[in-house]
């Protein structure tokens, strides 16, 4: 009886070690794949950005900018408080 139980514990122990090894291998494979997946996502984002610029140029005729000109001009107005307390 003791021999059968010893053999069963031995097989359970080997199974647990195998599961731990497979989990470690899975974790390291994901760690090594992250840069490749990130590079693929970056290329996709760049492709979408250039497609958006081309679509914008086709619709508007020229490329637009968020600013009126090419240089930044500091605003000439200032907001002051209405009621000054002393």
pLDDT, average across residues 5-31: 96
User: With bands split at pLDDT 50, 70 and 90, how would you rate the model's confidence at 60?
Assistant: confident
pTM (two decimals): 0.49
Please, what sign has the CA dihedral across residues 35, 39, 40, 45?
positive
pLDDT at 51 over 80: yes
pLDDT at 43 over 80: yes
Among 54, 17, 86, 72, which Cα is nearest to 9's?
17
What per-residue confidence (pLDDT) applies to 66?
66
């Amino acid at each position: 009886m003791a021999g059968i139980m010893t053999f069963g514990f031995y097989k359970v122990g080997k199974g647990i070690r195998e599961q731990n090894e497979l989990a470690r291998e899975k974790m390291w494979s994901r760690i090594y794949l992250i840069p490749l997946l990130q590079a693929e996502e970056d290329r996709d984002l760049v492709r979408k950005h250039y497609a958006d610029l081309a679509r914008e140029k086709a619709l508007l005729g020229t490329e637009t900018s968020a600013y009126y000109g090419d240089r930044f001009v500091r605003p000439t107005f200032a907001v002051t408080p209405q009621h000054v307390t002393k």
